[in-house]
Structure 1
Amino acid sequence: MPYTKRMEELVAERVPFVHAVVVRAQLPTAVSPGDDAIILSDGSIEGFVGGQCAESSVRTAALSALSDGRTVLLRVLPEGDPGFPDSPGAQVVVNHCLSGGALEIFLQPLLPPPVLWVVGSSPIATALAALAGPLDFTVRPADASPGPAGATAAVVCSHGRGEPEAIRAALEAGVGYVGLVASRRRGASVLEDMGLSEEERRRVHSPAGLGIGARTAPEIALSILAEIVTVIRTGDLARAGGR
């Protein structure tokens, strides 16, 4: 495909985008099956998957796909034209300014893997790093550049060492999920002494992890990752300030 190199560059730079590929095209449309384009989060389109009218429908669907991470099979039909036989699961739009020729376009969002910033060298930190990899997280140790900047989630599991400083750094970096591994009582004391705003306190999860009765380090790491995945998939992370 003509945009393979550009896609590789965007992936390397951790830039989210949608790859749009024309699956079917009906005359007199100017595109052919296999034509593709890249749509960025600002709505700009690199490539050609139809004229101005088709582009507007593709842009709208692509931005929605970037938001929820789901692939879309988009059918763009001119007004009054039945177009192609129905495709199960396709999203159908009727574009009133489309001059003719139905289009079917596959939109695939490519989002950078979430970054997990891990503070501490405890057994829980080691277990987090081991379990996060298969879940497609990029694990960034606390001492690695650029720190919490750009991280999706941060987990502080240093058992009392530098906890307020690490939590503050993650909050100031805009990390949406900040987990503190501590008992409920000790965690509450740490956070109370920090004087967090209501918005900041909402982003800090203490004790980190879902209540699954975890006891061992791997079980605790599992509960934390389950909580992070939950807030990512439900959209709570985006509302909190992360990706």
Structure 2
Amino acid sequence: MKMNERALQLGRTRTPFVHATVVRAQQPTSAHAGDEAILLQDGTIEGFVGGQCAQNSVRKAALGALQSHESVLLRVLPDGDLQFPEAPGATVVVNPCLSGGALEIFLEPQIPAPLVRICGATPIADVLAELCELVGFEVERTVAEATVAEADSPDSPADTTAVVIASHGGPEAEMIRAALDAGVGYIGLVASRVRGASILEGLGLTDAERARVRTPVGLPIGAATSAEIAVSIVAQVIQAIRKGGLAVPPRPVQVAVEALDPVCGMTVTVGPDTPHLTIDDVDYWFCGSGCRTSFAAAKTGS
């Protein structure tokens, strides 16, 4: 599968990843300018941006980029003096396992857009869906009667940023409870102050849960029409993301772990292709095949 096709596939499944591109390479490194790879949250590398020693440095920097949501220009240099053009603002890693050469790799994290689930088939819900898409959010529409069941469905997105209930009736309390149990950080209920308070009172929420539910929903701009109410809701969701720390929840993944190479002392980010040995029921990971071979020889005496 081509790299752009794989990126589109990951985007459709809302899977975070890092797109890595070699922008400069110095021989005798095996990578070349233009080489590409996709790095996943579990440390998997799909593509090629250098040999095993370089991959360890790239993998560690890529996982950091996924956490910070910021692009990184990574310079991977061998141990010792090397004449390699400077790149202001780049992150420099000295990798003693490189056999020579140097790499400069641009790491660009691809984070899914906030996903807003809109419950209901009302004029407010219709306009809200249009506005959410206009500002770059991903939208999922559900009708009130199906929402509770779909919230527990394994096919439903597990990384919902916000849920807005604009059904003007139906199982609103059940929908709020389902969203709270799913860990959604922003839950909005379109209702009057009196009706909204009555629904929440019957749920017996904790203070922390109550803080996640907005009703009346939206910023207080004096909105009266369906379009104005939708504008106030979108503005409040944006405010919660930009100023309130509301994040795009990550999908559950097997997070990469780190280990210490027993030969060279490098910190190795363990991935599916990390060189590995098990001796006397003890696991060892290595930065490259050279360290693994040396360690195995020392242990076996051969």
TM exceeding 0.5: yes
Secondary structure in 2 matching 1:228: helix
Verify: 1:66 aligned to 2:75, yes or no: no
Cα 1:54/1:123, change in 2 over 3 Å:
same
- Tell me what 1:204 maps to: 213
Matches within 5 A, 1:95-134: 95-134=95-134
Matches within 5 A, 1:214-225: 214-225=223-234
- Equivalent in 144, 147, 152 of residue 150 of structure 2: 147
- How far apart are the structure 1 equivalents of 2:163 and 2:226? 17
Larger radius of gyration: 2
Q: Give the AA of the match of 1:179.
A: G
Q: Give the AA of the match of 1:125.
A: A
Matches within 5 A, 1:22-101: 22-81=22-81, 84-101=84-101
Verify: 1:177 aligned to 2:181, yes or no: no
Secondary structure in 2 matching 1:158: coil
Secondary structure in 1 matching 2:218: coil
- How far apart are the structure 2 equivalents of 1:210 and 1:83? 56
- How far apart are the structure 2 equivalents of 1:83 and 1:181? 63
Shift of 1:222: 2.3
Verify: 1:138 aligned to 2:138, yes or no: yes
Shift of 1:90: 2.6
Unpaired stretches in structure 1, ≥5 consecutive residues: none
Cα 1:17/1:234, change in 2 over 3 Å:
farther
Secondary structure in 1 matching 2:246: helix
Verify: 1:242 aligned to 2:249, yes or no: yes
Q: Give the AA of the match of 2:170.
A: R
Q: Give the AA of the match of 1:173.
A: A
Cα 1:232/1:58, change in 2 over 3 Å:
farther
| Preserved contact between residue 152 and residue 242 of structure 1 (Cα < 8 Å) | yes
Moved more, 76-85 or 32-41: 76-85
- How far apart are the structure 2 equivalents of 1:14 and 1:32? 30
- How far apart are the structure 1 equivalents of 2:89 and 2:221? 36
Deviations along 1:39-78, whole A, 9 cap, x unmatched?
Answer: 1111211222123332222222222222343322222223
Secondary structure in 1 matching 2:150: coil
- How far apart are the structure 1 equivalents of 2:55 and 2:49? 7
- How far apart are the structure 2 equivalents of 1:127 and 1:157? 11
Shift of 1:25: 0.7
- Tell me what 1:194 maps to: 203
Shift of 1:162: 2.4
Deviations along 1:91-129, whole A, 9 cap, x unmatched?
Answer: 333334434322111112223333211112333212211
Q: How much identity, in percent, do the aligned residues show?
A: 57
Shift of 1:20: 0.7
Moved more, 138-147 or 4-13: 138-147
Deviations along 1:197-230, whole A, 9 cap, x unmatched?
Answer: 3443332223322344444332332232233233
- How far apart are the structure 2 equivalents of 1:2 and 1:122? 42
- How far apart are the structure 2 equivalents of 1:55 and 1:40? 13
Q: Give the AA of the match of 1:147.
A: E
Q: Give the AA of the match of 2:17.
A: F
Q: Give the AA of the match of 2:13.
A: E
Q: Give the AA of the match of 1:155.
A: V
Shift of 1:171: 2.1
Q: Give the AA of the match of 2:249.
A: G
The size of the alignment, in residue pairs, is 241
- How far apart are the structure 2 equivalents of 1:83 and 1:183? 68
Q: Give the AA of the match of 1:4.
A: N
Cα 1:234/1:108, change in 2 over 3 Å:
farther
Cα 1:25/1:230, change in 2 over 3 Å:
farther
| Preserved contact between residue 75 and residue 91 of structure 1 (Cα < 8 Å) | yes
- How far apart are the structure 1 equivalents of 2:50 and 2:243? 33
- For normalisation by structure 1, the TM-score amounts to 0.84
- Equivalent in 161, 164, 172 of residue 170 of structure 2: 161
Verify: 1:232 aligned to 2:235, yes or no: no
Unpaired stretches in structure 2, ≥5 consecutive residues: 251-302
